[in-house]
């Protein structure tokens, strides 16, 4: 693992540089066969710095969701390795993988996926209740206050706005203090104000609580909340950006042609990402 070491992009600002919550090593994923074959991921090597907020961007079909699903153990890779902390996910049997996802990974999706018959608080603690784990009261209190849900804990999802429902989903992901949270278009169903609130909470949970978050997004202003942005094109990471702004991300996205192919050289070739 010398010349294919994962990216340290963004880690120069982080305590414990080189400390990754998740890593991939040369992962590949191909869908279909023959003429219908699609290379969704092409030898992707990347590290997600612990305690940082990472956004994944790229044109439609570039492999963002596939990369996230493979890193989170929701989909298998055809070759290469995925590690969550020190655990090599690609070696685990199904049951072990289910346990790892339950214990070490939090998920936030575009659809809030709340249980309609449960209150906000019951939804937040549900994964821990299922796992037979007791919530750390102090931590849970901090999470509830961070997402501003204290006055709404007894409400059922139908009694909450979309933004409030997504805050419940954020609190649910944060409650068990997972090693890493994967968020797939978490603001896709929200108006811009609620979206900004949710992104603010995610950023706060990284800054104040040291949470690690990876977020797939199409929205440059959402990516601007992150500490670093990884850009995918044709199943490869072609660029990284630290301290992004919406303007810089938008400008970089213009470097992909109508077919989604990268037309610009990586601006940070020294980052060590597998940008080939
Ligand atoms: N189950 C599947 N079967 C066949 N091809 C697939 C499957 N899932 C994804 N693909 C293909 O793999 C490529 C990467 O898809 P992926 O969904 O990861 O891209 P994306 O960047 O998340 O796209 P979008 O921004 O449109 O959601 C695309 O060409 C897609 O058509």
Mean pLDDT (whole number) for 54-69: 95
Asked if residue 76 has its Cβ within 6 Å of ligand 1, the reply is no
Phi then psi dihedrals of residue 68, to 5 deg: -65, -45
End-to-end CA distance of the chain: 17
Task: Give pLDDT, residue 18.
Answer: 60
The model's pTM is 0.88
Mean pLDDT (whole number) for 22-28: 96
Task: Give pLDDT, residue 223.
Answer: 97
Query: What mean pLDDT, rounded, does the chain reach?
Result: 88
CATH for the stretch 11-271: 3.40.50.300
Q: Whose CA is nearest to atom 17 of ligand 1?
A: 65
Asked if residue 188 has its Cβ within 6 Å of ligand 1, the reply is no
Task: Give pLDDT, residue 274.
Answer: 42
Q: Which of 240, 228, 223, 136 is nearest to 187 (CA)?
A: 223
Residues counted in the chain: 276
Q: Which of 224, 228, 218, 182 is nearest to 200 (CA)?
A: 224
Mean pLDDT (whole number) for 52-68: 96
Expressed in angstroms and rounded, the spacing between residue 226 Cα and the centre of ligand 1 is 23
Task: Give pLDDT, residue 190.
Answer: 87
Expressed in angstroms and rounded, the spacing between residue 66 Cα and the centre of ligand 1 is 7
Asked if residue 236 has its Cβ within 6 Å of ligand 1, the reply is no
Residue extents of the structural domains in the chain = 11-271
Phi then psi dihedrals of residue 179, to 5 deg: -60, -35
* Gap between the Cα atoms of 236 and 262, Å rounded: 10
* Residue 7 pLDDT > 50: no
* Gap between the Cα atoms of 54 and 226, Å rounded: 5
Task: Give pLDDT, residue 208.
Answer: 87
Asked if residue 66 has its Cβ within 6 Å of ligand 1, the reply is yes
Helix axes 120-131, 162-175, angle to 10 degrees: 30
Mean pLDDT (whole number) for 62-74: 95
* Residue 2 pLDDT > 80: no
Residue 194's pLDDT band, with cuts at 50, 70 and 90, is confident
Mean pLDDT (whole number) for 77-102: 92
Q: Whose CA is nearest to atom 25 of ligand 1?
A: 60
Q: Whose CA is nearest to atom 27 of ligand 1?
A: 60
Q: Which atom of ligand 1 approaches the CA of 41 most closely?
A: 14
Q: What residue ranges in the chain does DSSP mark as E strands?
A: 20-31, 38-49, 53-57, 79-84, 87-88, 105-108, 180-184, 213-216, 228-233, 236-242
Residue 6's pLDDT band, with cuts at 50, 70 and 90, is low
């Amino acid at each position: 693992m010398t010349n294919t070491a994962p990216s340290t992009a963004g880690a120069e600002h982080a305590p414990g540089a080189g400390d990754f919550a998740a890593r991939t090593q040369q992962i590949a994923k191909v869908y279909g066969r023959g003429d219908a074959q699609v290379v969704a991921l092409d030898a992707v090597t990347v590290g997600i710095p612990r305690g940082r907020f990472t956004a994944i961007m790229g044109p439609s079909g570039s492999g963002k969701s596939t990369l996230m699903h493979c890193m989170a153990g929701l989909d298998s890779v055809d070759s290469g390795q995925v590690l969550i902390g020190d655990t090599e996910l690609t070696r685990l049997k199904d049951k072990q993988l289910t346990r790892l996802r339950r214990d070490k990974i939090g998920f936030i999706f575009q659809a809030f996926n709340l249980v309609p018959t449960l209150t906000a608080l019951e939804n937040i603690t549900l994964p821990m209740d299922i796992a037979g784990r007791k919530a750390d009261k102090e931590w849970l209190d901090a999470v509830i206050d961070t997402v501003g849900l204290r006055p709404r804990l007894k409400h059922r999802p139908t009694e909450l706005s979309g933004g409030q429902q997504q805050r419940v989903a954020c609190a649910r992901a944060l409650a068990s203090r997972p090693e890493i949270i994967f968020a797939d278009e978490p603001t896709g169903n929200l108006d811009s104000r609620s979206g900004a609130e949710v992104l603010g909470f995610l950023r706060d949970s990284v800054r104040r609580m040291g949470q690690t978050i990876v977020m797939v997004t199409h929205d440059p202003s959402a990516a601007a909340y992150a500490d670093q942005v990884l850009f995918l094109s044709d199943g490869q990471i072609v660029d990284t950006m630290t301290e992004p702004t919406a303007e810089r991300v938008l400008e970089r996205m213009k470097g992909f042609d109508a077919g989604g192919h990268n037309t610009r050289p990586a601006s940070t070739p020294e980052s060590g990402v597998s940008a080939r």
